[in-house]
A and B are shown apart, each in its own frame.
Chain A
Amino acid sequence: MQIRVTVNGTAHDSDVEPRTLLVHYVREVLGLTGTNIGCDTSSCGACSLHLNGEAVKSCTVLAVQADGCEVTTIEGLAQNGEMHPMQKAFMENHALQCGYCTPGMVMAATSLLNENPNPTEEDVRLGLEGNLCRCTGYHNIVQAVLAAAGGR
């Protein structure tokens, strides 16, 4: 099927199999491998990206459903060579170790702040419950999101 998707500001016209998941589209067709795959049950959130500005797990969206949409992946978050404030906050708060969940976590966290610019610690913990991290114990991820919120 023919689709047109704007990814990180660039329009792409692609012919995809109907069964192609959005995560496979961005990884394999567009070569944007920053979006990771961590499970097959939509549990881990490693594949989170923004669809029309909102975080979605891209393993639960078909590429054809993204036809006509704006997609932002982790590769599109930094602007003019400057990391996004959330990326900086993750670095400054040591909110990542192996980094595999990180792109999805950052995309979910930026979406969280778009919806709730002044979250409490509990809001952050609940807001990120769809994204699993095995390294950090979440402590510093929560601190990073609160710091990013405070810095806005």
Chain B
Amino acid sequence: MTMTEPAASTVLGKRRLRKEDPALLTGEAKFTSDLNIPGALHLAVLRSPYAHARIRSVDVSAALQLPGVVAAYSGADLAPLWAGPMPCAWPVTADMKNPTHHPLAVSKAAYVGDGVACVLATSDAAARDALEAIEVDYEPLPAVVDLEDALSDRVVIHDELGTNRSYTWELKCEGADGQVERAFADAAYTVSEHYVHQRLIPMAMEPRAVAAVPQPFGGDITLYSSTQVPHILKVMTALTLGIPEHQMRVVAPAVGGGFGAKLNVYAEELLCTALARKHKVPVRWTEERTENTQATIHGRAQRQHIELAADADGKLTAVRVRLLADMGAYLQLVTPGIPLLGAFLYGGVYDLPVAYDFSCTSVFTTLTPTDAYRGAGRPEATYAIERAMDALADQIGIDPLELRRRNFIKKDQFPYTAMTGLVYDSGDHDAAATMAAELADYDGLRARQATQNVDGATKRLGIGVCSYFEMCGLAPSRVLASLNYSAGGWEAATVRVLPTNKIQVVTGTAPHGQGHETAWSMIVAEKMGVDPDDVDVLHSDTAIAPLGLDTYGSRSLPVGGVAIAMACDKVIDKAKKIAAHQLEANEDDLEFAGGTFSVKGTPDRSMPLAAVAFEAFTAHNLPDGLEPNLEAQVTYDPPNFSWPFGTHICVVEVDTETGDVDVLKYVAVDDCGNQVNPLIVEGQVHGGVIQGLAQALFEEAVFDEDGNPKTSTLAEYLVPAASDVPPITLGHTITPSPTNPLGVKGIGEAGTIGAAPAVINAIVDALSGLGVTDVPMPASPHTVWKTIHAAQSASSAQGVSK
């Protein structure tokens, strides 16, 4: 007789191919714009060609005469449809300024791409053609594209606010009064660095798409949208349009990437829904790429000033940060909170005394609104501390990796209460850094660098290090309350064993490439002793999965996945009662392993889950008082964030004659606690790294001084192709999180967080012998070349003056 295996993982931690893939690989998967919706009218939105203009009048009459056109509206025409303004769920301060924002502008357009009128027609082409017939009389006003200029209030964008300043948010944490000031006064070394995070365009490969399908007589309405947040969207659409929430259903079909940009409530979602109700027919809209680059949120866009104080050994003693953040023209769903998500990470992975002074001022500009983009505030923070650590190492004259090692929070200090009061759950930075250094051959590279980067060398080797912590798994609801966020951070799961022992999981997460169907089925398989192929994961439809808070902030596994594991435990508890009853045994004497309940010590007295499931279904012989069926629901509110970490090392060769940066090697060692499916973890890191590297080397949303976008297509905005990027060498350490029963942490954003500072540190390292101390992002060949020449003319000018 075979003894049941002890609780070693049979499924978790093993590479498993994704169950999502066949549909996506064969064209079977349906994205929103693939849905066949008979009778749908097509929406087209007329967008302001001016960054800032008063709307004197809008005349849609000529458009109405065109073939196929059913209706055309100005912003004023639609004003009665809005029960409330477009939502901003994060009023970060009591006095935060938030301009009223409706799906179509009424009196003023505030960025190029701001919707000012719309058309409904029987085809997409007819609707778009008709936009040209709409006459808008604009009074152009001066654009505000520079953050300092915005702060000056030279031109106030939103008249009713009287200022372009949205808020100033401060966080000062001191062990003793005046500790920050004293630390800087007493410091052996200080650095004071200024960095700019350029605007980025998230650029999911699937542009947004929306279809609203009404049931005019019943009153219900279904909104299909390419969204990361069907649950949030349902609540917000109901509130904004005055629709009873129980009549509102949101479905996110296959979603082609989000990266934070689909974590929002957009004008077109509200327009389609409102107009479908008004016209009593389905209304749909598919975004063109040029609209996507203007009317879908942008990311980053902040200026940073970071100061570090350190003692004679290079140990950090205080950190001071001042941010100036670009909100864009309006506050979208979580716009104001994004720079503040980084506020807790400017101390990096380092053991700091409680001496931290952070302040962020955020301003409006006449540009596309900003909001969450992969990492959302945390890549910005990590960039600042990791670039500043290199500046500090340079000043002290020690190796940047050595400086990091001196400052790392040590493994035995976890759980570690950080200077901000948050508790880092677990970590082993030294182990991750050591593995990264070995994979990169760090010592060998330093030796090679010493011989290669000699005077006059035009191909210079650079090595960049970044050690990061990511605050993810958003989020403990009480912490969100303290940050004034309008919702909680829990996640819901239902696990249901069907009569034939197949299992349905209902999750509140909303995957759009992360492979939740595969990963969640693995968690259930591990817990319940079934094959992952016998588990079906239902998601992204508020009628099927009514409870949920969706997918963003690397939260799905550490919150949603944990909820599923806990729901499995609840199901097993109930099944155990049934098995005990059937086996005429005491519940406490039963154990559950490999999908079978058995009496401890008497394994031949056993009952498989399949038999229990059928008993629960027939309900012929259940213990008194026990309800039929095997199903459990859990709503899990995490007690802490999860804190993945790691070290990335980038190796570059910079051609000083052309400014070209060749990435020779990229090593990423990431620790996300226990891994559910290493295949998916690796994919997340690969993609994240290249997105971070793309910020460092290629991407920038460029505007001219009048606020006109200069990168509004994929021909102009440089999303890298396969030929532009290096392969990636991965390693991982495993330091389980002690705060959740799976020991897991998120991994969706880690790569992006680690990459940009590693790449720029490498470039600066390569050029340090030439007097270069910083290179702005994106480090295009032209920018690198200019930086080298500026440094050289500065040093030769110095030479002359001597």
Contact = CB atoms under 8 A, between A and B. Distances in A.
A and B from one assembly?
yes
Contacts of A38: 205-207, 289, 714
Interface in A118-152: 121, 124-126, 128-142
A91 B719 contact: no
Contacts of B679: 94
Nearest to A17: B125
Interface stretch (B15-23, B152-160, B401-409, B651-659): B15-23
B727 interface: yes
Nearest to A75: B27
A41 B289 contact: yes
Given A36-B31, A39-B289, A97 B687 contact: yes
Interface residues of B, number: 56
A62 interface: no
B467 to A, nearest CB: 21
A71 interface: no
B61 interface: no
Given A41-B715, A102-B25, A106-B25, A137 B254 contact: no
Interface stretch (B239-247, B325-333, B510-518, B628-636): B510-518
Given A91-B25, A96-B24, A128 B721 contact: yes
Contact of A44 (B25, B205, B288, B690): B205
B499 interface: no
Most buried by B among A38, A90, A136, A141: A38
B691 interface: yes
B589 interface: no
Most buried by B among A96, A124, A126: A96
A31 B512 CA distance: 23
A75 B727 CA distance: 30
Interface string B676-697: 0001101100111111000000
A122 to B, nearest CB: 8
Nearest to B690: A137
A135 B25 contact: no
Interface residues of A, number: 54
B682 A94 contact: yes
B177 interface: no
B723 interface: yes
Contacts of A136: 683, 686-687
A106 B682 CA distance: 21
A24 to B, nearest CB: 9
A9 B679 CA distance: 36
Given A31-B36, A38-B207, A125-B722, A137 B256 contact: no
Contact of B27 (A39, A74, A96, A98): A74
Interface in A14-54: 27, 31-41, 43-44, 46
Contacts of B25: 74, 83, 87, 90-91, 96, 99, 102-103, 106
Contact of B26 (A41, A78, A142): A78
Contact of A41 (B257, B683, B714): B714
Contact of A33 (B34, B683, B719): B34
B204 A134 contact: yes
B722 A124 contact: yes
A107 to B, nearest CB: 10
9 contacts: A37-B33, A44-B289, A83-B26, A106-B25, A128-B721, A133-B722, A134-B691, A139-B686, A141-B722
* 3 closest A-B pairs by CB: A34-B27, A100-B256, A99-B24
Interface of B: 17-18, 20-31, 33-34, 36, 203-207, 254-257, 259, 288-290, 512-515, 679-680, 682-683, 686-691, 713-715, 719, 721-725, 727-728, 751
